[in-house]
Amino acid sequence: MLHIEDLNVSYSYLQVLWDVSLHVDRGEVVTLIGSNGAGKTTLVSALFGLVPAIGGRIEFEGENISGMAPFEIVRRGLSLVPEKRELFPRMTVRENLELGAFATGRKGDPDRVFELFPHLAERQDQDAGTLSGGEQQMLAIARCLMANPRMIVLDEPSLGLSPKLVHTVLEAVERLNSEGITILLVEQNVRRALEISHRAYVIEAGRITRSGRSSEILHDEQIREAYLGL
């Protein structure tokens, strides 16, 4: 479904991604793990045309999307839940959701996502900035669903959340996948992310250094030492 081939990205003279190749098949959850500064957010940003690539190719459902504007990519069925959530704090939950459909050119129907996130329905007239951290993350995910994506990319969705909320957010990710949405998950809660994903890639200093089935990666000695502190 998504194929990234030999992606290279630099910020002026500093190259941060080196020949990154990865793919996500339809129906999969694929986790990308890596330590701080490894290049995970840069990869996600390049995927959505938010930073330019200096080389490589990105294909979504067989179409070359390299160099496309972010809204064009969203229109094709690939959506992003960004690392910092980027909600509009002074707009209501419902208004934030309606903006999620904007790129598609259609007026979205928040009632559909309220079925998935009933808790947000109860707060639909509340300003987004007054929601708790976990609720804001759910809203960011719900907003991304308003564009009717077939695949979503989540950049560290559990960042800053308590262990219980991490569980809730990753459970929501699992549920979306079971409803047919393909997922690329960037996550620092490595154990839980590997438990809910089919395959995983490890990125170190801008290069993919490992890939395989999540169950294998989870039991790899080096990974356990480097990312799970075991």
- What residues make contact with ligand ATP under the rule CB under 6 A? 11, 14, 16, 34, 36-42
Q: How far is the CB of 186 from ligand ATP (least distance, A)?
A: 7
Q: Which is nearer to ligand ATP, 77 or 157 (CB)?
A: 157
CB of 153 to ligand ATP, least distance (A): 13
In the complex, minimum distance from the CB of residue 11 to ligand ATP, in angstroms, rounded to a whole number: 3
Residue 182, CA distances (Å) to 7, 23, 34, 149 in order: 21, 12, 21, 9
- Which of 97/223 has CB closer to ligand ATP? 223
Q: Which residue has the tokens 């047919």?
A: 180
**Toward ligand ATP, which CB reaches closer, 34 or 134?**
34
CB of 79 to ligand ATP, least distance (A): 19
Minimum CB distance to ligand ATP smaller for 52 or for 163: 52
In sequence order, the 6+-apart residues with CB closer than 8 A to the CB of 116 are 142, 145, 172, 175, 176
Residue 126 or residue 188: which is nearer to ligand ATP going by CB? 188
Least Å from the CB of residue 68 to ligand ATP: 20
Rounded to whole angstroms, what are the CA distances from 145 to 21, 78, 140? 26, 10, 9
